Amino acid sequence: MSLNSTAFSHPPYFLLAGIPGLEKEQFWIAFPFCIMYVVAVLGNITLLLIIKAEPSLHEPMYLLLAMLAFTDLVLTTSTLPKMLGIFWLGSREIGFVWCLAQLFFIHTFSSVESGVLVAMALDRYVAVCHPLQHSSILSVPVVVALESLVLVRGVLLVSPLCFLLHRMSFCWHRIISHSYCEHMAVVKLACGDTRVNAIYGLFVAFTVTGTDMILISVSYTMILRVVMRLSAPEARLKAFSTCASHVCVILAFYVPALFTFLTHRFGQSTPPQVHITVANLYLLVPPMLNPIVYGVRTKKIWDRVV
């Protein structure tokens, strides 16, 4: 294929469908979405400002919280303003380059969030199972290196997705059956053989989600084994409460992610409105919950808030 034909193979824009099957209800659905977005933005910005302003919070656990808050801000802001524009204003057009940019930020920072959750589970494991070595094992330079690693991992894994899409030709059909530019939703509009895109997408999803879920599961299993040996009922109850809240946030992130990923490939019988609504909530619920669970329930941060 020549350079000129490749250039013309890219449509100037795509049309985002919003939530297929709920076009009439989208206007009202946008209100709770907007409220969740505002809560997520205010909560995560507050968390970042508190951690930045308080020198005593410049510790590994709080640096991971700051990274999580920043990731949540990028995830929600890269999707929700455009989504609300679709629901309220009917602004469905998104340029080809902007679509690839949105796709890059969504998938890169979903990978980053998953990596940060692993790092936080590791931090809790070391704090509970090896408390005397915590400061030496997870020092600030080590945590900064971990944060850099998960960011680089996300960029390196997702960049080829964008590159592969940029090289593809697209048919006249320009309507993306989604509220944002999700990888497989865009791939379905491409002409020709898309097996490489689908296989690489599977590889990225299983590499990130599969590996990270295994590491988190091992960390919390080890933590629970130590907690069960605690003699004081109050200490055991407090540890269980903390672990339970963290596990709920982790499930709120991974369950919708897996549902969306598997539905695109194997769930053709799933109603599109269910699929797309869950995919939207996947980018809203965890960023809204994280500041509450990890921030408000952390005594040092709560003391700064009140």
Give the Cα separation of 147 and 150 in Å (integer).
5
* pLDDT mean across residues, the chain: 86
Higher pLDDT, 234 or 143: 143
Q: Is the pLDDT of residue 8 over 60?
A: no
Contact by Cβ (8 Å): 226, 128: yes
- Find out whether 47 and 295 touch, Cβ atoms under 8 Å: yes
Number of domains in the chain: 1
- The pLDDT assigned to 60 comes to 85
Tens digits of per-residue pLDDT, 134-160? Answer: 888 888 899 999 999 999 999 999 999
Judge whether 8 lies within some domain. Answer: no
Residue 306 clears pLDDT 60, i.e. is over it: no
- Reported as a pLDDT band with limits 50, 70 and 90, residue 246 is confident
φ and ψ of 47, to 5 deg: -60, -45
Domain membership of residue 2 (yes or no) is: no
Evaluate if residue 214 carries a pLDDT over 90: yes
Assign residue 283 the CATH number of its domain. 1.20.1070.10
| Residue 105 forms part of a structural domain | yes
Quick one: pLDDT band at residue 305, thresholds 50, 70, 90? Answer: low
Quick: pLDDT tens for 108-139. 999 999 999 999 999 888 888 888 888 888 88
Assess if residue 7 is contained within a domain: no
- Check residue 218 and give its pLDDT: 92
pLDDT at 5: 43
pLDDT exceeds cutoff 50 at 9: yes
Indicate if the pLDDT at residue 180 is higher than 70.
yes
What is the CB neighbour count within 10 angstroms for residue 13? Answer: 15
Q: Which of 17-21, 54-58, 85-89, 263-267 has the lowest mean pLDDT?
A: 263-267
- pTM score: 0.89
Mean pLDDT value of segment 264-292: 84
Q: What is the DSSP string of 10-57?
A: S-SEEEE--STT-TTTHHHHHHHHHHHHHHHHHHHHHHHHHHHH-GGG
Q: Are the C-beta atoms of 297 and 291 separated by less than 8 Å?
A: no
Q: Look at the chain and count its residues.
A: 306
pLDDT at 236 over 80: no
Question: Which residues span the domain enclosing 66?
Answer: 13-298
Token pair, residue 304, equals 């700064």
Phi, psi torsion values for 188, nearest 5 degrees: -65, -15
Q: Find all residues with CB under 8 Å of 71, minimum gap 6, and list them.
A: 109, 112, 113, 116
Asked if the structure places residue 72 within a domain, the reply is yes
Is there a domain that residue 242 lies in? Answer: yes
202-209's contacts with Cβ under 8 Å and 24+ in sequence apart are 202/265, 204/107, 204/111, 204/157, 204/158, 204/161, 205/261, 207/157, 208/110, 208/111, 208/114, 208/115, 208/153, 208/157, 209/114, 209/254, 209/257, 209/258, 209/261
Q: Which residues of 40-50 are buried (b: 16+ CB within 10 A; e: fewer)?
A: bbebbebbbeb
- What is the reported pLDDT for 107? 94
Buried b (16+ CB within 10 A) or exposed e, 26-39: beebbeebbebbeb
- Binned at pLDDT 50, 70 and 90, residue 3 comes out as very low
Average pLDDT over residues 224-235: 78
Mean pLDDT of 271-290: 89
Residue pLDDT, tens place only, 43-57: 999 999 988 888 888
Q: 4: pLDDT confidence band, cut at 50, 70 and 90?
A: very low
